[in-house]
Amino acid sequence: MSLSLIIKWGGQEYTITSLSEEDTVLDLKQSLKGLTGVLPERQKLLGLKMKDHRSCAETGVELMRPYLHEFLTSAYEDYDIVIWSATNMKWIEAKMKELGVSTNANYKITFMLDSAAMITVHTPRRGLIDVKPLGVIWGKFSEYYSKKNTIMFDDIGRNFLMNPQNGLKIRPFMKAHLNRDKDKELLKLTQYLKEIAKLDDFLELNHKHWERYLSKKQGQ
């Protein structure tokens, strides 16, 4: 699969289309050298945009996961909803508006966090990675939120590395044009959230087995 990267350097944007999934960071830096003249050892990479050529969908609405609004409408009955993206706030606000999330009359977003709220940690397996520490929220709003009443959804498990007990790794939504009619992930997660909302403490849950938990509850 070919990758298209948009790199910002010196106030200008450069598009690189010659990379593949097999290429390394050094290959990327060599490509950047050809465009900018900056030696690889002097480059710092930050804020890469990646376009996935596996999807024929082009707009945010076309890429929107099925049942998104139904999921958020139902969740809003029992939860405060927070959006946390590893991008910048300007992009988040634009995307939420495009998807109709920030303007939906059936639910409200309590607040949004961007990459500035993330921290970098070192792991033996992956080295330096950026994660989303829920302690940022718990520390600032301790009277409302804690380990007992918080759940985070993400399709990248390492994002809740600091708080694995509160993270639920969802299946990624890929190839939207092919899978839109088959994807029921948010529909099932809607039911899971409704079930666990009855609990006083989420710490007794193992979100890795959320589907098993849901099946058991629905079978009772």
Which tens digit of pLDDT belongs to each residue from 137-146? 999 999 999 9
In angstroms, rounded to a whole number, what is the distance separating the alpha carbons of residues 79 and 215?
Answer: 22
Domains of the chain: 2-52 (3.10.20), 60-218 (3.40.50.1000)
Spatial contact of 152 and 163, defined as CB atoms under 8 Å apart: yes
Residue 167: its pLDDT value, please? 95
Model pTM? 0.72
Residues 170, 155 contacting (CB under 8 angstroms):
yes
**Which residues does the chain have with pLDDT short of 70?**
1-14, 16-29, 32, 35-36, 38-60
